Structures are given as C-alpha cells and as structure tokens.
A and B are shown apart, each in its own frame.
Chain A
Amino acid sequence: MYAIEMIGVNKRFGNVQANKDIHFCLELGEIHALLGENGAGKTTLMRILYGLYRPDAGEILVNGQKTQILSPKDAIQAGIGMVTQHFTLVPTLTVAENVVLGYTHSQIVSQKDIEARVKAASEKFGIHVDPSVMVKYLSVGERQRVEILKALYRNARVLIMDEPTAVLVPQEVNVLFDSLLQLVKSGLSVIFISHKLNEVMAVCNRITVLRDGQVTGIVNKCDTTQKDLAKMMVGRDTAGLARQVGHKTGTPVYEIKDLNAVNKQGLKALKGVSLSVQKGEILGIAGVSGNGQSELTQVLTGLLVPTSGTIELEGKDITHATPNEITKAGVGRTPEDRHEGMIGDLTVAENFALEDLEKYTHNGFLDQKAILKDAELKIKDFQIKASPTDHLRKLSGGNMQKVVMARALSRNPKVMIASQPTRGLDVGATEYIRKKLLEERDRGGAVLLLSEDLDEIMALSDRIAVIYEGCIRGILPASEATTEKLGMLMAGAC
C-alpha cells in the first residue's frame, strides 16, 4: 500500500497541459523527489494533492483509500501537509501561537498551555524551535522549521516540501536534511520538489522526473546517476527550432565583471557573475528560475544596486547608473514581467513616451503630436495590433510584449537585455519576437537573452552561459551545448 497514490491526473490551464496522465506513488517512510525544470508540472501536481487546484481528471488514494480533496482543509484532514516557499506565518505572533493557529482545542487559550503543548510537539518530532519567540525574530531556516512543525502538529503523515532549499544557506540545508531523515525514521513520508540534482541525490530514496507535464522516469537513487536524471529532466528529440548561424565580430561591447548582489530577502543572489557580450551575438543565459536570473535582470536594468562588481558598456562604467542613465547610455532594457514593467492604465503612446520625456517636452508641455507620431511609427515597425491611444491593458500578451520590445529596440541600443521575452505568449507572437532578436543580432547589435525556455536559448544563442545558485557554471558555444551538458549545469551537477 502506498502512502499516496495519484492516478491519471490531468490538469489544463487555458491551452497549456500542465499535467498529462500523471501516475505518482509515494511509499510509506520514504523521501521521494519530484524533479523537473520550470513548467514541468511539479508544483501543479502537488497543489492538486493539497487541494489548491482541482484536477480535470484523475484520482487520489491516501493509504489505499480513495479520497476527495477539495481544499487544503481536506488535505490536512487526510494527513497531508505542505511547506511552500512563501511562508504563511504571522510575524507578530509567537512560534507557539502560529503552530496552534486554527487548532486550539478550546475557546480559551492560555499562553503557558500552548507553549507547553508546542514544546512537547517540538521534542517529539525533533524539530528544535523556541515556542515563546515571536516569528519576526527568526531566521528563514528557523521559520521553515516552524512551518514543518505546524504541519506535523496537525498530524501530517505526508509532508510536501516545495523547493525548500531555495531560501536556505548551506548550513541550514544540512540541518533540514538531518531533520527530514529523522522524521522519516519515525514514519513520516516526504515529497521533495526540486530541480537541484545534488540535493536530490543526497537525501532522497526515489525520484520521479517530470518534463512538459508528463512523467519521464521513476527511478531509485541507487540505480541512477546525475547525468541520467539530467537527461530525463531536460532531454528532447530535436526541438522544433532550427539553430541559426550567426556572424560574430568578436569585439566585446558589454562586460559584467564579478557582480555580486543581494536580493530582497537578504540572500546572496549573484555570486561573482562575470559575462561578456560581443557585438553581433546573442548570449543566452540558461537556468531554472530562482537561481539568480531575476536579480541579474534587475541589476542590469538599474532596479537593484549590486554590492560589488562592475558593468561596462563600451568601456564606460554604468554599474550604479539609474534606469534613465542606462537607457541613455545605449542599453535596451526589458522588464522580466511585462505587467510589472509597463503601465496598463496608460496608453501605448504614453508608455513609449515615458522613457523619453525630455525629447517630447517643449516649453514645459508635452508635444502630443510628436508622441502620437512616434508611437505610430513604432506600431508599424513592429506590427503591433493596437492604436497609439489604446490603453495598454487592452492589448493581448503578444502585442504588449511587442510594445516592450519596440520601446527598447527602436533606440538602436548597443546591447539589448531581453528578459523572458516570450513568456506566456502564443506561437505567433513568440516567433515574431524571436525573429526580432535575431534581426537585432544580424544588424550588429549585442543581445543578452535570459530565458527559462531552454528551447529558446538553444535556438537563438550563439553562446550559452548557465546560471545556478547565483554563479555562472559554464559558458559554451552553441555548437557544443547539448541538452545533456546544459541539463547537468542547470541542475548543479558536479
């Protein structure tokens, strides 16, 4: 009998099949890894298990019994607990209060009583936390332990952990693994979602690999190697895109040297990143999201100040330049998330004009005619299906992204930073954007392409760098970059 069995699970979002006919089994007392890159379907599958999504088809069996899970409450009652990357703790309450939240057994709650109960639970499960401390004073690793304790307090027999090490420093990772191994000895079963091969090999018993919504392999750790796993995770038969041949002129125009940066959570997101982009080339940065691409984009577009390192454009230091100065220096900037980086409630023309206000200001007033005319030109150039006075919010995703690209490319930048340029777009728009990037390269511009879509990286790039845990793990010319090699680097294989 399996602790959890998910049979024939299907889930579709719009025209994306996130989970296709998935069969997943968790044995009692094992740590089972769910491995895959972005968009493989791991989180979707686990959200179905935890009742956050309802599958289009499929059954869930808990301890052999068919169970209907319509909400997290049902999942918790079935003994399933989940610890996500975003903690659900209340910072101004103590550990004890957080753990018992919603599970107090009487109307009157005494601090001493709940602290005693939580202390007992803490000792029983071997999770060491001080019940009387307010959560806001705890480190991230400690908070994660509180989340685990919360799940165990609710009598979880199955624990789902979604990318737990993403927010931990190495020492905390070891503590976490020790705790998990301990807990498993006392009968807990764990599902460990990850894309990091070395961790999976270190702590898990069995591994299910997902790719594009389907299971590509179920193996025992002792029967497999990191190389095999990488292949299952990332390998494809020749993908639909043909590799383009580019002409490099070899003069480096954009140099990033030893860049270090800290993200909003205070973790080191970039560790000594060094890259050099040449004229007439597309340098692709491959990597699973969460390994530093977002922070790299933010630093390069002027939204995050690096702690050390330099960025030079044609020899000019622009490391601490504002977004405006960076644009003026000749960098084409695109936001990673077009909804955050563009303004939906303003018109297309206004979004274009925002980056260039000085050009359109005469005698203190905006030259509306010039703004509209320039917008018309860009709309024609980039085949955007919209009029300059349309509110940006009304545009389709593809057209919005075209506006983003047009705003950056129409200045003929010396280097173009294309961040997730085709994320969420349909086939037609995707093809168009990729064509534009290739045109930019052929014109002699330099393009730095950051994308979670490995197919895209492989099809468009002349050279490919892989980022993992904030470091550049390798830079390969396109001819040498096989999916195997890239998969290994992306998953941190050593």
Chain B
Amino acid sequence: MMADADRTVAEQNQDAVLIERIRGGERAAFVAFYDRYSPLLFSVAARILGERKEAEDVLQEVMLVIWNKSGDYDPQLGTLSSWAVSVTRNKALDRLRARTRRLRLIEEAAILAEDSDATSYPSANEIVHGRERAELLRDAMKELPADQRMAIELAFFTGLSQSDIATRLQQPLGTIKARIRRGMLRLREQLGGAL
C-alpha cells in the first residue's frame, strides 16, 4: 500500500509538471499526456457509448480540450487525470443523449446484467496504473455491496440522474442517494493511498 501511495504521489507530481508544460504550449508534453492517458479515456468513452468509432471522436475532442483549455483545470478539485475522465464522460454522454433513448436502455440493461464476477477482463486501470494497483481497484469495486455498485455505475456510465436511477430500480430517491454516498465513501476508504 505504501508503494502504491508513493507511486500515486509521483504520478500526480508528473501530471502537475505535464499540465504546466501543456499550458506553455509544449507539444512534447501533450504527446506524453496522450500516450499516458488516451487508453483510459478511450476505454471510458467506448464503455459509455458502446462502440469504438464514436469513442475515437470523443477522445479527439477531449484531447483538444486538454490542449486548448487546460487553463480551466482546477487542481484544488482533483487530479489532472480525474478532470480528463470527467471531460470524457460528459462528452460521451452528450453523444449518448443525442442518440435515441432506446439505445440508452440497452446500455442500462448491460450494466444491470453485469454481475460481480464479470470482471475478468483487463481494465483500463491496468494499462494506466499497472496490474497491482488495478487489482486493488477491482477488488475494492467487487467488495462493494451490489446495490451500491449498481447505483454508482448507473450514475457514472449512463449519466442517469439520481431520480432516474430511483425510478429505474424502483427505489425511493433517498435510498439511491444513500447508496451512492455510502458506496463512494467506502471506495475512498478501501482505496486509501492508491488514489
């Protein structure tokens, strides 16, 4: 865990240097950022959209945001990579919403159908953070109660509001809010220094 924590700090320091160099218009820094994070961002976009072609477009849009609008990044509110993930999610969801509502139902069904054992594939975390840390992250997700994990995944990957999730899962809104809160705080505790 200490090694994870050390590595995380080192990664964050590298990212802080990278963003400054990108803000300075240094192409090599941008290429380094792309090489480091494009698999993660592409995987997230593909996971949300369910297809590669649109995910490629999203990745390109996001990278242009990183290049052109890195001044919008506020380090007080999270790491550079978490900001990039958020931009990716928002852009992918914009495209998803532009599609018919029907396809979104299929995406939701995919999440609802996913059981806790369906995580035997290599994850994007493995590419970006290495196998050891990826396994830690995966184990933390698997140990989360299924109802909490489902609410969190529906919120993140489908862009459903908490009210929408409550309707979809036929649960009171307060229950969904509590599940998301408990799940997120529990993950924070379990991941600890790996974050």
Are A and B associated in one complex?
A: no
Q: Which residues of B contact A (CB under 8 A)?
A: none
Q: Which residues of A contact B (CB under 8 A)?
A: none
